[in-house]
């Protein structure tokens, strides 16, 4: 937390949300995280391995390491070395410190602050952390820091916004009457790093759509509807490939 910043209160509804106990029995955690929701959406079986069975991820096979290494080499360029990557990291940090984004606008309410609360009846509490929470006269701004190999398009920012939309539903009660704004600060890992700011309006229809999606995800989890959802990108980096190939339902 930044010195002098007011702590963003953690919202707890553990005692009044019966779905928390269902989640605790199933997964050992009495809440849902965005990471868990995303994992289920990517592949329900991967969710089961990680959150229900609690299995550690397998060490990567030599073929996977080789493939990933080739992929990384293509992405970074064959001339990249540890020294050049260190130099890139230094450039990125310098670019950030020299950008207006490094100066906080408004009043800091919290940094890396925990948030927890009930999104909708019948679904366990959502628990997470917000990178930065600020407010000014009219707005409460929820900021997430990202690094990326390239600039984001407006569509990418919108697609990535679901997590912040859910957090805004929980945080909104803390700043009644203020406009809620989501904000991504994207730092590119390019030769000449740039900082991009993507501001998003929190529209009630988008929040409602995202909450409904989480509701459906939870219904599938609670009914133990787990199945493999193979994809080229998802399976290539999955830590449960062996267990998945042995899965028989």
What are the residue ranges of helices labelled H in the chain? 19-27, 34-42, 44-47, 62-76, 82-98, 154-159, 162-171, 204-222, 232-236, 241-246
Closer to ligand SF4 by Cβ: residue 120 or 235: 235
Which residue's CB is nearer to ligand SF4, number 86 or number 227? 227
| Stretch 48-87 residues interacting with ligand SF4 (CB under 6 A) | none
Binding string, residues 184-223; x marks residues near ligand SF4 by CB under 6 A: ----------------------------------------
36 binding ligand SF4? (CB under 6 A): no
Q: Cα(81)–Cα(191) distance, rounded to whole angstroms?
A: 14
Distance between CA atoms of residues 122 and 103, nearest Å: 41
Tell me how far apart the alpha carbons of residues 32 and 20 are, in angstroms, rounded to a whole number: 9
Site for ligand SF4 in 216-235 (CB under 6 A): 228-230, 234-235
Beta bridge pairs of residue 142: 133, 182
Do residues 181 and 199 lie in contact, with contact meaning Cβ atoms separated by under 8 Å? yes
Of these, 46, 50, 183, 198, which contacts ligand SF4 (CB under 6 A)?
Answer: 46
Q: What is d(CA 104, CA 223) in angstroms, rounded to the nearest whole number?
A: 45
CA nearest neighbour of 145 among 75, 92, 84, 71: 92
Q: Which of 45, 101, 115, 186 binds ligand SF4 (CB under 6 A)?
A: 45
Give the shortest CB-55-to-ligand SF4 separation in angstroms: 11
Question: Which position among 19, 43, 119, 165 is part of the footprint of ligand SF4 (CB under 6 A)?
Answer: 43
Pick between residue 45 and residue 202 the one whose CB is nearest to ligand SF4: 45
Instruction: Tell me which residues touch ligand SF4 (CB under 6 A).
Output: 43, 45-46, 228-230, 234-235, 238, 240-241, 244
């Amino acid at each position: 937390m930044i010195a002098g910043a007011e702590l963003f209160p953690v919202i707890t509804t553990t005692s009044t949300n019966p779905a928390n106990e269902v989640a605790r029995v199933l997964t050992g955690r009495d809440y849902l995280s965005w990471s868990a929701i995303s994992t289920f959406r990517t592949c329900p079986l991967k969710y089961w391995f990680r959150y229900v069975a609690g299995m550690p991820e397998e060490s990567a096979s030599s073929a996977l390491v080789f493939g990933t290494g080739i992929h990384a080499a293509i992405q970074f360029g064959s001339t990249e070395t540890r020294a050049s990557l260190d130099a890139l990291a230094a450039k990125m940090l310098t670019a950030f410190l020299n950008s207006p984004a490094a100066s906080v606008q408004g009043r800091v309410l919290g940094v890396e602050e925990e948030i927890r609360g009930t999104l909708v009846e019948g679904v366990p509490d959502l628990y997470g952390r917000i990178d930065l929470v600020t407010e000014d006269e009219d707005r409460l701004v929820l900021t997430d820091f990202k690094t990326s190999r390239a600039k984001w398009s407006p569509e990418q920012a919108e697609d990535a916004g679901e997590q912040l939309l859910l957090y805004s539903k929980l945080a909104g009660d803390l700043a009644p009457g203020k406009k809620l704004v989501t904000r991504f600060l994207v730092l590119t890992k390019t030769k000449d790093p740039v900082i991009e700011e993507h501001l998003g309006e929190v529209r009630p229809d988008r929040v409602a759509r995202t909450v409904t999606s989480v509701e459906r995800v939870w219904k599938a989890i609670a009914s133990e509807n787990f199945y493999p959802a193979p994809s080229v990108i998802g399976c290539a980096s999955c830590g449960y490939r062996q267990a998945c190939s042995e899965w028989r339902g």
